[in-house]
Chain A
Amino acid sequence: MSTQTEAGIAPVAVKPPRAGRGLMTDGRRRSPVAIVTMAFLAVLWTLPTVGLLVTSLRSRSAQADTGWWTALWNGGWTTENYRGVFENTTMGDSFVNSVIVAIPATIIPIMFAAFAAYAFTFMDFRGKDVLFIAIVAVMVVPIQVAFQPMLDLLGPRGLGVQGQFISVWLLHTGFGMPLAIYTLRNYMSTLPKTVIESAKIDGATHFQTFWKLIVPMSVPALAAFAILQFLWVWNDLLIAKLFLSDENKTVIVSLQGLLGTQGQGSEFLPAGAFISMVVPMIVFFTLQRYFVRGLTAGAVKG
């Protein structure tokens, strides 16, 4: 809250902004309360992650004896944990598995969803509203409902592919579908209808209009969904733990295994956690703009 309000001053009387003391370059008044509070919150929000990073770079005894914030004067720095985590745990293998799981599970759903979103946006048909409402409803359904039936279908009683990558690709494709259709449809409905109309008059089929016009125009939304889906798949524990065998497990499942380690080997935990976080963080920092757009477009996921 600002201490002085401009009560009673008509807009006409407001002096033109002058850059200088108390004002920012864009003419708004500097707010010390906002600066101090936000700085404090930003530090508070970052500190735990910094703690993990620093701890991951400290020797076993340093980790056990002193807090990470004393590392500046107590020392104990080492990169040994990162070597150790690859040599002594399954983290390295799991990292490869995570990449193998995440990339197809991110891209395949987009293909299916984009066509459905196109139909919902640019075609008229009976039951359109009901079907789309079904999508909205299904987004809220917890994915846990699917586990036992899918275990039957994919497990030894069914196809016998439980434990293999295919089961996870399939599940993520299915579970990602409602959000994908919803997000893409919301975006497509903002595209100018006239473009589609003129394509129609030129004799383009829906299939051609889709590929030649709508897909190129929808790239921001496709990217936004892809990032959301990638982070979701990469960070997932539940599906990976239930549907992947031990040799195919992802970094997150490996990290969860490390969390149970006591004594010898427990010093690898922070390094392992950091390795599991590196890829999402890179994705996050490089594609933040799209990520934000994806979040704003489709807020809920079941």
Chain B
Amino acid sequence: MSSTDVARDERVVDDGTAPGEPAPPARPAPPGGDEPTNPDRADLRKILIGLVGAAFVVWFAGNLFLAFSYHPDWFASSRILIGVLALIAGVGGAFLLFYFINMFVEGLPGRLSRGLMPYAFLLPGFGLIALMLIYPAIQTINYSFANSDSTGYVGFDNYSYIFGNTEFRESLLNNLLWLILVPAVTVVFGVIVAVLADKLSARGEKISKSLIFLPMAISFVGASTVWLLVYAYDIGSESPTGLLNAVWRALGGAPEAWLQVSSGRLNSMLMMVILVWLQVGFAMILLSSAIKGVPEDTIEAARIDGASELQIFGQVVIPQIKGTIITVFITVVILVLKVFDIVYVLTNGRDKTNVIANLFFNELFNNEQAGRASAIVVVLLVAVTPVLIYQVRHFRKEETGR
């Protein structure tokens, strides 16, 4: 690279008429780029080296990564060595891949080269998305009509099975409950915290925000462990070890095994608390920056008109941060639809707490029912479709407003 750059800096703009793809550098340059060519003519050397180079990089990196798995002994069976090599091969391989693809496209005749360059830049990223998200999505829909090991079609059997299954219907209901409660509660807390933090001194705001934001760094499993201690119930011990039972006892209640209390879906709600605890920081951050963006003069004008602080908040601030509120809401909705870890590690769906994503995992992982698992995912996919459509529309509106 560096030799190219030197050449670049000294180069006089002699062919300034072509603002598109310029000629390759005139002096010491990487292979294939060492002679000035007319950008409108194909450069066979570049095409060839680019093509062979890109193919070689893919072949080499691919085989190296496979070798990590097939022949760990070649790497002294050291996980750390493999990790380091993977990092180098991954980053270096990606760089070289783009380098050669770029060379190949640059070698093509001018107009074709300019036309293809964007696609060359997009290709690797989109290839990964196609391989790991788009193809599997289609395949999963396909599998949902197939049997447990995807070897033969069974029509709508999987769907009639899951919809006839009480556990599934229960899970749908629970997901609905999560969907109604968690995003709304998260947004409300987020707004409250953001508004109040805005009224604190700079230092107070920073500290209190950090503390509320901290759970964002904690995994769902870690958070579940944290809250398992809060909800702990010990039959043997004379004093409660769980915080909730301690508070409950102080209020005059008898200790409970909280995560087993399914009446009123209390156990589900206690798990929702964990998700809210994790997400309020996120809501706060987004809402806080939105609130700070509300122009002071709109608030001042309302004050002059004699509005109370509450009125100002409801009629001036809220309408102006509506967009952010919706963004936060949607993000939490997407998260809630897929909620898995918390339910899986705390109850695994016992005591009427099952949710779709946990049911999916158990069908796939424990029961090895690929067909049913796929059908469950398709239901999930259908459930996110409205959100997806909303997102696309919202994005389009924003783009035209840019």
Binding site for B on A (CB under 8 A): 1-2, 5-11, 24-26, 28, 30-31, 33-35, 37-39, 41-42, 45-49, 51-52, 55, 63-70, 96-97, 99-100, 103-104, 107-108, 111-113, 115-116, 118-120, 123-125, 128, 131, 133, 135-150, 152, 159-161, 164-166, 169-171, 173-175, 177-178, 181, 189, 200-208, 211-212, 231, 234-238, 241-242, 248, 252, 255-256, 259, 269-270, 272-273, 276-277, 280-281, 283-285, 288, 291-292, 295-296, 299-302
Contact = CB atoms under 8 A, between A and B. Distances in A.
Given A136-B395, A174-B132, 8 more contacts: A2-B309, A45-B280, A51-B226, A104-B83, A123-B121, A142-B337, A165-B69, A204-B22
Contact of A66 (B83, B227, B237, B307): B237
Contact of B217 (A25, A125, A152, A283): A283
B345 A256 contact: yes
B214 A284 contact: yes
B226 A174 contact: no
Interface string B154-189: 000000000000000000000000000000000000
Interface in B299-318: 300, 303-304, 306-310
A47 B207 CA distance: 15
Contacts of B300: 11
Contacts of B388: 137, 140-141
Contact of A107 (B90, B126, B139): B90
Interface in B230-279: 230, 234, 236-243, 246, 277
B21 A64 contact: no
Given A100-B80, A145-B381, A206 B129 contact: no
B150 A152 contact: yes
B396 interface: yes
Nearest to A93: B79
Contact of B219 (A41, A252, A272, A300): A252
A120 B122 CA distance: 8
Interface string B192-234: 1100110111101001101111111111111011111110001
Contact of B91 (A8, A108, A241, A283): A108
B85 to A, nearest CB: 10
Given A111-B91, A237-B341, A256 B199 contact: no
Contacts of A171: 132
Contacts of A169: 65, 86, 90
A174 B115 CA distance: 26
